[in-house]
Amino acid sequence: MRMKIENGHVLDPGHIDGLRDIWILDGRIEAVTEPGAYMEKADEILDAEGLFVTPGLIDMHVHLREPGQEYKETIESGCRAAVRGGFTAVCCMPNTRPVNDNAGITSWIVQQAEKAGLARVYPVAAITGGLGGQQLNEYADLKGAGAIALSDDGMPVLDGQTMRRAMEYAQAFDLFIISHCEDLSLVAGGVMNEGTVATRLGLGGIPNISEYLMVEREIGLAELTGSRVHIAHVSTRESVRAIRHAKARGVQVTAETAPHYFTLTEEAVGDYDTLAKMNPPLRSEADRQAIIEGLQDGTLDCIATDHAPHASMEKEVPFDEAPNGIIGLETSLGLSLKLVHDGFLSLADLIRLMSKNPARILGMNNDLLPGAPADLTLMDIKASWEVAPASFASLSRNTPFGGWQLTGQAVATIVGGRLVYKV
């Protein structure tokens, strides 16, 4: 089957920036041509006039909750939310129930994703058994089953020697570590950012140094072992500075942040709004500005969502007792495009952060070239829309952005040459 996407502005940073036709044959890109230059007959034509056509967006950090907490999200519902948000691929974290710490669970996740037939799913397996921070898992088996990286996300690996061995062991199998950086002794039971808002509300605060110290440790271990490390959900100005300095001296460190860290501050907690409770917590305005600067200068490599579904009843409790996290797959692009509309990033920069750089970190090439898998996102960057959680494909509704007016959204998503979402 041959598909033609015509009249679109194709934006593949570093390769293509202009009006092109894209031809897809049997799931792969057949040709990218000047408009009207290729005269083959198409079985299906997608008119992209007024739209940008980009390499598929990739989210390096989501929680799909299956197996074990299917009332929050399933692999199928999470993938449906992903393609609605313009994502053609997601990396799912291992803190399921049971934990994805063995090849059997990794294989099962891959199979369930294939059954769903929506976004591609790349499992991230656990560094240690049960996320316990002690016993390293069988990395060769995990990679063989489909694991693309290793992380104890949700829990830090507190023991430095264990993390050193994990980096060395992962390197032997061409895997890399995604580190949840958090010194729990400094968190000390805190539930939001340490500062004036926490003081006003009488809530325990989490200082920036609880993240920053672990970021420095992981950088040091990566430098010592020569391994690759990726820092998850960066939220503080000190972490950005440390990563910037590490990159300048050649350490193999990459990093992500999430839309809530460059959009909101601790003030969003308001009067104990649990929809603004997450880990790491929303920080100060100075931190938010540092995150944006880190995206601008390349210190932060990508934007991930840390999509963390929770049932309403779990969030409708006192702030101290509420679980951390918000969903993000269906709001990420709209929130991130605000950086473009406000002049902080070019659209090409944003595509690098949401598509090209995640692919590079994962060891993939998603250039729009003949022969490549046809994973594409079509977006209308001028479309105005209201965030309506009740209409989400995700099974959960825990977002602080309900009712927000955003500009720009995905209007079609193509995975392996199949149109899996269209407005």
The residues assigned a catalytic role are 306
Q: Is 65 annotated as a binding residue?
A: yes
The secondary structure of the chain in percent helix, strand, coil, rounded to multiples of 5, reads 35, 25, 40
* Residues contacting 20, CB < 8 A, separation 6+: 8, 10, 32, 33, 34, 35, 53
Q: Which of 301, 382, 380, 304 is CA-nearest to residue 341?
A: 382
Q: Is 230 annotated as a binding residue?
A: no
Backbone angles phi, psi at 35, to 5 degrees: -55, 125
How far is Cα 264 from Cα 106, in angstroms, rounded to an integer?
Answer: 34
DSSP label of 382: E
**Whether the Cβ atoms of residue 90 and residue 67 lie closer than 8 Å to each other:** no
**Whether the Cβ atoms of residue 327 and residue 258 lie closer than 8 Å to each other:** no
Q: Is 153 annotated as a binding residue?
A: yes
Backbone angles phi, psi at 100, to 5 degrees: -75, 80
- Tokens matching residue 32: 């990218």
* Residues contacting 266, CB < 8 A, separation 6+: 192, 193, 195, 197, 198, 281, 282, 283, 284
Q: Which of 91, 8, 76 is CA-nearest to residue 24?
A: 8
Q: Is 61 annotated as a binding residue?
A: yes
Q: Which of 161, 157, 163 is CA-nearest to residue 181?
A: 157
Q: Is 310 annotated as a binding residue?
A: yes
Q: Specify binding-site residues for Zn(2+).
A: 61, 63, 153, 180, 233, 306
Q: Specify binding-site residues.
A: 61, 63-65, 95, 153, 180, 233, 279, 306, 310
Q: Specify binding-site residues for substrate.
A: 63-65, 95, 279, 310
